[in-house]
């Protein structure tokens, strides 16, 4: 069933007719969950490098020919200094490179070597992805949805919509492309999250830590909730405008799983760290509580049109440190085999420096994946010396001919959907992917 | 719900009516009187654009398509709100060309008369599409214009139920001034209809609360409140210094030796941070043309920021009042409305290589209703990015850059930090020259380039439309409709009809806006009267109609700021722990971000679909507010109560034998009816199913209370104790006045021996966390 047919059928059966959303049924979506089943499937996490990262500075290394190279691809390290672990080549940044002195001034502590040596056996690098755009919004959208145009949900929202949109933190987003296309609500957290979440986990208690401190008695709270559910259903049933019906159903869906938020309390650390590390802690805790299916981690500062090396390299190291921390936290919490971490950005950066020693937008990029379902120690795709995308054969051998097929984000997203067992799902029909030449997707993940 | 239903209902929907109408003659061509008049524009949209131009021809005949070098270039909805008008003009220009007596627009795609077509044959002679082209060409010779009797609008919105004048007033009042309308205001509107609504709204728009909301609406776009905390805005001014010994603004830290430097510094920073928003408020408050937001040769300062800039002789009515802003000029700055404020230029910065293109983008977005990035949603190849000045020379790049770069050039006098720094070597020669549209900026205007840009752009009708779009988003929570561009999408044609109808309505508002000399209050008054603001239900919609009306309706989840104001407006008490405590919905460390709000810094997009956490915020709000306000309301005389004017805690619905007490039950029902109106805006009959549902809740809770107060349980010490005590929970007791803190003494309520107060608490919790309380 394609998206058009699905929407027609949905309309006839009283489901959504607002393309695309799953909230618009004439009746509310379902009865409140009576028994809660914690989510234990794959946790899908998209780590976004906002602004457009430079793969040639980490996973698709291309250095300067010499220190005197007048047009270096990267002035921060030499081609000869490129390192390799397993099948994965990476840049020598920052320690054993031309960047060493600057790294000391910037007090950089993390290194590419730490990351790649630690994770290469779990890591899949996809190089030479042709984004087909060098615009921020479009690039970020295609990276995380597999489509240049608007309207498709991010892969994180896609997973949440498929596996349990009623969970109170089904899709957490700290930024990046977070389009839900109406198939799952998005949750955001900030500030003093731990204190606030305590109160929100127990909205029926005056003191969250005292179960005897209800605003109402337990029985009365049940009566209120039941009346509310009844009214939501009546409002939806009597509503003729799809948009309002959709809004009522979204409210109902949100309420139906909200009671499970209290489970989060059991798993939250006493103190959240800052930045990506804090994001990772909260996501893993929510997953362990069984109330989170997917999340966006996000950090910015990669749009380095000026002074690229000094600005970009520290951000990359911070990003990889965040990824490292996320994987460690997952291991610490006993869910290391359950997480799927996807790393990407808007696009790549030009294979040359501009007049301000910055790098501008470039439509060729890379993505990295590790965790559940990923066969590690692999590099798929490639670029030439000028960081232009090389084509691939249907079996992913490099094909340097002009007419060879390029890797597009649609191929990657089909693979991700397949990893999640969703490539034939109803949502996949609603949000089809277009492959170059109209053919089959490339088997990026094997 | 007070409502008015659109007077006409078409059983088969407007689409069938419109489509069949296309076979008819136009009304001014002697057709039957009851035949539908179809204008040239509608015919073009439905029969020519939607059927072939927008589905087939545009694949090649676009700015970047295979036929990009032809003179027949079509644009889809991403091009801007007037894309259909543009395409009709293009069609017309081609139709005027003839080959052997046949219009070129027919000859070429049908490959008639031996003419080649790069895209091969696309139009069979004799096909319906060919006939539609012929009919359109005939119409161009004999244009059909239809009288605007509102019939199209009535037909399109047939079956839609609209809020009436009084309900519209309530919604608008809560939205723009954060309060309920007074009984007098309601009565005036009840008596005088929409004309009176305009008058009441005009009065409301003189209140300070309206300007707070207006600033909030524009900040959602400008995001300049990023610099509101601490001394972030003042830091920006200092960062402009190129020479520490010769600072641009030497008095930025004037307050450091004042008696209360923290307060003076805070007021100084907030004033600088709010300059662009205060300018917008000033222009609207003084009924000035809204174009002044781009052309004003002044900025807004208060007592404190005047000192920051070292301004002498600025007159304030109340010196020291941080809320009093007056127009003033900062020496050396060629002010051009909001664009030249330091915070605006920093919030939308540039770099040496970006060359103000990012600023150009937001200029188009904020002031010209155009997202230039969407023009670039097409496959780009690496080879296009290489080469000399690809933005000028490569069609894949210059499709955007030819629009973006001239406006970027107009920002040439302001550097990355917002500093006034005209380029010593002149502007970049490898970019399209500064200008706007087809107009090139005269070099003598370069010193005041942004003033020139503001003046030119504000003459563009798109400026009026952009103001409507911003206010529409602020008032409804929705983005303006955008026509679909993918013909394979479900609801493609219906989406085009819907966006076209909205475009027409917005265009009418734009004309009224222009006719009122760009008074923004006109826009507010007109938007709240549209079906987009007032539609609350519909009947008899078939699949096509549902697709056409898919985005219509009042289903906006209130933003945290609005919910905060609404709670206080209806209950008389804010959601705040103690009178001097934190407003939990506004505080970034409390619920503001969790409830989908923004911080104007890293969190800049509001969440519009509720999630589980937001549901719990709403639930906690309902519980806390009902706890704090229920007993408190009963401490007042009935005439002074906000929530319970018709009942007392002694009113029990049944007697000891389980028989209804008619007088008490009737009063309880009346109060429930009142609460539905006051809290939810629902004006229901006393026997309405929803009144019954709420009454049932009250009754069940009260009965549960009777049972529980008679029952006993064993406590932790093994003692038999009453299951429910008469005591209200501590925070739900009313012992002190919230605002003054004064003890209530004999009026205090700490107990609830009848369990009626707790029954009313349950009802209030239920209503406060209701869908309709949380949405408008």
Three-state SS across chain A? Answer: CCHHHHHHHHHHCCCCCCCCCCCCCCCCCCCCCCCCCCCCCCEEEEEEECCCCCHHHCCCCCCECCCCCCCCCCCCCEHHHCEEECCEEECCCCCCCCCHHHHHHCCCCCCHHHHHHHHHHHEEEEEEEECCCCCHHHHHHHHHHCCCCCCCCCHHHHHHHHHCCCCCCCEEECCCCCCCCCCCCCECCCCCHHHHHHHHHCCCECCCCCCCCECCCHHHHHHHHHHHHHHHHHHHHCCCCHHHHHHHHHHHHHHHHHHHHHHHHHHCCCCCCCHHHHHHHHHHHHHHCCCCCEEEEEECCCCCCECHHHHHHHHHHHHHHHHHHHHHHHHHCCCCCCEEEEEEECCEECCCCCCCECCCEECEEEEEEEECCCCCCEEECCECCCCCECEECCCCCEECCCCCECECHHHHHHHHHHHCCCCCCHHHHHCCCCCHHHCCCCCCCC
Query: Is the CB of B610 less than 8 angstroms away from the CB of A254?
Result: yes
Residue of chain B whose Cα is closest to the Cα of A128? B382
pLDDT at B380: 62
Contacts of A350 in chain B (CB under 8 A): 385
Q: Give the pLDDT of residue B379.
A: 60
Contact with chain B for residue A168, Cβ under 8 A: yes
Per residue in A47-63, pLDDT tens? 999 999 999 999 999 99
Say whether B708 and A217 touch across the interface (CB within 8 A). Answer: yes
E strand or H helix at B713: strand B712-714
Pairing mode of beta strands A294-299, A43-49? parallel
Q: What is the pLDDT of residue B148?
A: 67
Q: Which residue of chain B comes nearest to A189, CA vs CA?
A: B594
The reply to whether residue B491 touches residue A364, judged by beta carbons under 8 angstroms, is no
CB-CB neighbors (< 8 A) of A297 in chain B: none
CB contact under 8 A, B536 and A238: no
Cα separation, A222 vs A385, whole angstroms = 66
Q: In this predicted model, what pLDDT tens digit does every residue of A17-29 receive, in sequence order?
A: 233 333 344 444 4
Find the CB nearest A133 among B376, B599, B761: B376
- State what percent of residues in chain A have pLDDT above 70: 91
CB contact set of B357 (below 8 Å; sequence gap of 6+): B350, B401, B404, B405, B408
Confidence grade of residue B348 (pLDDT, cut at 50, 70, 90)? very high
At residue A5, does pLDDT exceed 50? no
Q: Which position has the higher pLDDT, A411 or B482?
A: A411
What size, in residues, is chain B? Answer: 776
- Both tokens assigned to A26: 């004439």
- CB-based contact, A436 to chain B, within 8 Å: no
In 3-state terms, what secondary structure has residue B420? Answer: strand
Q: Residue B181 pairs with which residues in a beta bridge?
A: none
B612 with A305: Cβ contact below 8 A: no
Q: What is the pLDDT of residues B124-137, one digit of tens each?
A: 888 888 999 999 99
Domains assigned to chain A = 41-190+273-438 (3.40.720.10)
Instruction: Measure A417 CA to nearest chain B CA, in Å.
Output: 22
| CA distances, B479 to each of A140, B433, B470 (Å) | 21, 33, 8
Closest CA to B695 of B639, B766, B622: B766
Q: pLDDT at position B381, please?
A: 64
Q: Chain A contacts of B729, Cβ < 8 Å? A: 206, 213-215
Q: pLDDT category, B396, cuts 50, 70, 90? A: low
Contact A360 B700 (CB under 8 A): no
A382 in contact with chain B, both atoms CB, cutoff 8 A: no
Contact map slice: A 272-331 vs B, CB within 8 A: 291, 300, 305-306
Q: With beta carbons less than 8 A apart as the criterion, state whether A23 and A249 touch.
A: yes
3-state SS assignment for residue B640: helix
Confidence of residue A221 (pLDDT cuts 50, 70, 90): very high
A172 touches chain B (CB under 8 A): no
Residue B415 CA to residue B392 CA, distance in Å, equals 23
Composition of chain B by helix, strand, coil, percent to 5: 50, 5, 45
pLDDT bracket for residue B399 (50, 70, 90): low
Whether the CB of A219 is below 8 Å from some CB of chain B: the reply is yes
**pLDDT in the model for residue A190:** 67
- The verdict on a CB contact (< 8 Å) between B612 and A170 is yes
- CA distance, residue B328 to nearest chain A CA (Å): 35
Q: How confident is the model over B39-60, as pLDDT tens digits? A: 888 888 888 888 888 888 888 8
Chains A & B: contacts with CB separation below 8 Å: 283
Neighbours of A41 (CB within 10 A): 15
CB contact under 8 A, A223 and B701: yes
Residue of A nearest to B702 (CA): A220
The answer to whether A17 contacts chain B (CB < 8 Å) is yes
Task: Read off the pLDDT of residues B204-236 as tens digits, 9 standing for 90 and up.
Answer: 999 999 999 999 999 999 999 999 999 999 999
Does the distance separating the beta carbons of A204 and B540 come in below 8 Å?
no
Q: What is the pLDDT of residue B19?
A: 38
pLDDT at residue B89 in the model: 87
- Please tell me the predicted confidence (pLDDT) of residue B334: 96
Q: Do the chains contact at B770 and A258, CB–CB below 8 Å? A: no
The pLDDT value given to residue B76: 83
Query: Hey, are the CB atoms on B701 and A180 less than 8 Å from each other?
Result: no
Judge whether A46 is closer than 8 Å to chain B, CB to CB.
no
Q: With contacts defined as CB-CB under 8 Å, which chain A residues touch B553? A: 241-244, 247
Closest-CA distance of chain B to residue A37, Å = 15
Contact flag A235-B771 (C-beta cutoff 8 Å)? yes
Residue B616: per-residue pLDDT: 95
Q: Do B376 and A135 touch (CB under 8 A)?
A: yes
- Which of B389, B582, B612, B713 to substitute to test the interface with A, most A CBs within 10 Å? B612
pLDDT-based confidence at A98, cuts 50/70/90?
A: confident
**Complex ipTM:** 0.86
Q: Is the pLDDT assigned to residue B147 strictly greater than 70?
A: yes
Q: Answer whether A241 sits within 8 Å of B552, measured CB to CB.
A: yes
For testing contact with chain B, the best of A139, A157, A181, A216 (most B CBs within 10 A): A216
Is the pLDDT assigned to residue B28 strictly greater than 50? no
Q: Which pLDDT score is estimated for A4?
A: 40
> Which of B64, B362, B380 would best serve as a mutation to test chain A binding (most A beta carbons within 10 A)?
B380
Question: What pLDDT, on a 0 to 100 scale, did the predictor assign at position B520?
Answer: 98
Cβ–Cβ gap A134/B380 under 8 Å: yes
Residues of A in Cβ contact (< 8 Å) with B389: none
Chain B's closest residue to A136, CA to CA, is B373
Q: Which of A127-136, A183-192, B150-159, B554-563 has the lowest mean pLDDT?
A: A183-192
Whether A214 shows a pLDDT value over 70: the answer reads yes
């Amino acid at each position: 069933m394609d998206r058009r047919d699905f929407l027609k059928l949905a309309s006839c059966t009283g489901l959504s007719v607002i393309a695309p959303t799953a909230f618009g049924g004439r009746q509310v979506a379902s009865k409140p969950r009576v028994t809660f089943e914690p989510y234990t499937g794959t946790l899908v996490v998209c780590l976004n490098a906002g602004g457009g990262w430079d793969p040639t500075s980490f996973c698709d290394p291309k250095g300067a020919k010499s220190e005197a190279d007048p047009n270096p691809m990267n002035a921060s390290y030499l081609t000869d200094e490129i390192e390799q672990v397993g099948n994965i080549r990476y840049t020598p940044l920052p320690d054993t490179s031309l960047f060493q002195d600057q790294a000391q001034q910037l007090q950089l502590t993390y290194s590419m070597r730490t990351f790649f040596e630690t994770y290469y056996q779990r890591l899949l690098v996809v190089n030479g992805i042709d984004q087909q755009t060098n615009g921020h919004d479009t690039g970020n959208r295609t990276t995380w949805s597999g489509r240049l145009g608007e309207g498709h949900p991010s892969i994180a929202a896609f997973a949440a919509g498929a596996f349990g949109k009623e969970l109170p933190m089904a899709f957490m987003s700290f930024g990046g492309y977070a389009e839900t296309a109406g198939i799952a609500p998005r949750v955001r957290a900030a500030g003093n999250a731990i204190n606030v979440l305590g109160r929100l986990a127990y909205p029926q208690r005056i003191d969250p830590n005292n179960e005897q401190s209800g605003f109402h008695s337990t029985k009365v709270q049940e009566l209120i909730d039941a009346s509310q559910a009844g009214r939501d259903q009546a409002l939806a049933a009597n509503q003729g405008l799809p948009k309002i019906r959709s809004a009522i159903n979204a409210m109902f869906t949100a309420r139906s799983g909200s009671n499970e938020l209290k489970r989060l309390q059991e798993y939250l650390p006493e103190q959240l760290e800052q930045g990506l590390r804090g994001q990772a802690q909260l996501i893993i805790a929510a997953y362990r509580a069984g109330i989170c299916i997917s999340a966006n981690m996000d950090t910015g500062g990669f749009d380095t049109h000026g002074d690229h090396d000094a600005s970009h390299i520290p951000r990359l190291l911070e990003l990889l440190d965040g990824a490292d921390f996320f994987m460690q936290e997952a291991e610490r919490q006993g869910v290391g085999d359950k997480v799927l971490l996807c790393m990407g950005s808007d696009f790549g950066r030009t294979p040359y420096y501009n007049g301000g020693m910055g790098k501008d937008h470039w439509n060729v990029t890379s993505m990295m994946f590790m965790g559940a379902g990923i066969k590690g120690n692999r590099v798929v795709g490639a670029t030439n010396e000028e960081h232009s995308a090389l084509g691939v054969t249907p079996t992913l051998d490099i094909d340097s001919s002009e007419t060879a097929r390029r890797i597009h984000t649609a191929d990657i997203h089909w693979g991700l959907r397949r990893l999640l067992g969703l490539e034939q799902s109803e949502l996949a029909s609603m949000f089809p992917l277009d492959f170059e030449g109209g053919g089959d997707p490339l088997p990026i993940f094997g | 719900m007070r409502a008015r239903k659109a007077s006409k209902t078409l059983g088969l929907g407007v689409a069938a009516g419109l489509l069949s109408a296309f076979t008819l003659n136009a009304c001014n061509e002697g057709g039957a009187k009851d035949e539908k008049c179809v204008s040239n524009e509608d015919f073009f949209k439905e029969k020519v654009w939607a059927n072939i131009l927008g589905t087939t021809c545009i694949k090649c005949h676009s700015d970047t398509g295979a036929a990009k070098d032809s003179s027949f270039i079509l644009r889809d909805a991403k091009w801007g709100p007037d894309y259909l008008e543009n395409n009709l003009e293009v069609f017309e220009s081609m139709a005027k060309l003839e080959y052997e007596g046949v219009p070129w627009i027919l000859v070429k795609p049908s490959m008639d008369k031996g003419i080649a077509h790069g895209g091969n044959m696309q139009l069979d002679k004799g096909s319906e599409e060919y006939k539609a082209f012929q009919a359109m060409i005939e119409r161009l010779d004999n244009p059909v214009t239809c009288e605007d009797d509102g019939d199209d609008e009535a037909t399109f919105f047939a079956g839609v139920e609209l809020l009436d004048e009084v309900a519209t007033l309530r919604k608008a009042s809560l939205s723009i001034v954060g309060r309920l309308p007074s009984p007098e205001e309601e009565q005036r509107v009840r008596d005088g209809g929409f004309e009176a609504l305009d008058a009441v709204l005009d009065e409301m728009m003189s209140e300070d609360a309206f300007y707070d909301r207006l600033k909030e609406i524009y900040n959602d776009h400008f995001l300049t409140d990023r610099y509101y905390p601490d001394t972030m805005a003042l830091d920006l001014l200092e960062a402009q210094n190129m020479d520490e010994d010769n600072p641009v603004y030497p008095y930025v830290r004037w307050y450091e030796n004042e008696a209360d430097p923290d307060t003076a510094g805070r007021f100084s920073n907030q004033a600088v941070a709010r300059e662009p928003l205060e300018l917008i408020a000033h222009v609207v408050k003084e009924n000035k043309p809204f174009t002044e937001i781009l052309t004003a040769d002044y900025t807004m300062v208060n007592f404190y920021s005047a000192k920051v800039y070292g301004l002498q002789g600025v007159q304030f009515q109340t010196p020291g009042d941080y809320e009093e802003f007056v127009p003033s000029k900062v020496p050396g700055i060629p002010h051009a409305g909001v664009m030249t404020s330091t915070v605006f230029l920093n919030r939308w910065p540039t770099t040496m290589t970006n060359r103000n293109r990012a600023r150009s983008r937001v200029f188009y977005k904020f002031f010209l209703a155009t997202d230039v990035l969407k023009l670039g949603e097409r496959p780009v190849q690496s080879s296009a990015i290489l080469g000399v000045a690809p933005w000028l020379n490569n069609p894949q790049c210059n499709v955007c850059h030819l629009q973006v770069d001239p406006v970027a050039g107009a920002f040439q006098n302001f550097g990355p930090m917002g500093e006034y720094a005209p380029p010593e070597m002149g502007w970049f020669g490898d970019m399209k020259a500064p200008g706007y549209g087809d107009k090139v900026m005269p070099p003598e205007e370069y010193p005041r380039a942004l003033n020139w840009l503001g003046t030119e752009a504000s003459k563009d009708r798109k400026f009026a439309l952009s103001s409507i779009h911003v206010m529409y988003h602020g008032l409804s929570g929705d983005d303006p409709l955008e026509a679909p561009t993918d013909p394979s999408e479900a609801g493609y044609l219906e989406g085009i009809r819907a966006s076209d109808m909205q475009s027409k309505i917005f265009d009418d508002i734009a004309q009224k806006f222009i006719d009122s000399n760009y008074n923004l209050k006109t826009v507010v008054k007109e938007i709240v009267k549209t079906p987009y603001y007032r539609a609350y239900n519909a009947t008899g919609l078939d699949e096509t109609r549902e697709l056409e009306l898919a985005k219509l309706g009042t289903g906006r989840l209130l933003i945290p700021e609005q919910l905060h104001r609404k709670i206080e407006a209806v209950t008389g008490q804010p959601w705040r722990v103690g009178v001097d405590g934190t407003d939990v919905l506004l505080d970034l460390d409390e619920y503001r971000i969790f409830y989908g709000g923004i911080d104007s810094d890293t969190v800049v997009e509001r969440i519009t679909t509720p999630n589980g956490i937001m549901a719990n915020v709403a639930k906690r709000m309902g519980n806390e507010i009902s706890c704090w306000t229920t007993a408190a309301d009963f401490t007042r005389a009935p005439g002074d109560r906000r929530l319970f004017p018709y009942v007392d805690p002694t009113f029990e619905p049944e007697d000891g034998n389980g028989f209804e007490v008619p007088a008490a039950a009737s009063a309880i029902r009346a109060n429930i009816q009142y609460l539905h109106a006051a809290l939810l805006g629902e004006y229901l009959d006393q026997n309405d199913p929803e009144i019954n549902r709420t009454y049932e809740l009250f009754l069940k809770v009260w009965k549960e209370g009777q049972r529980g107060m008679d029952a006993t349980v064993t406590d932790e010490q093994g003692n038999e104790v009453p299951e429910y005590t008469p005591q209200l929970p501590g925070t739900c007791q009313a012992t002190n006045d919230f605002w003054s803190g004064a003890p209530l003494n004999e009026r205090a309520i700490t107990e609830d021996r009848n369990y009626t107060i707790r029954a009313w608490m349950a009802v209030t919790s239920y209503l406060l966390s209701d869908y309709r309380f949380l949405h408008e």
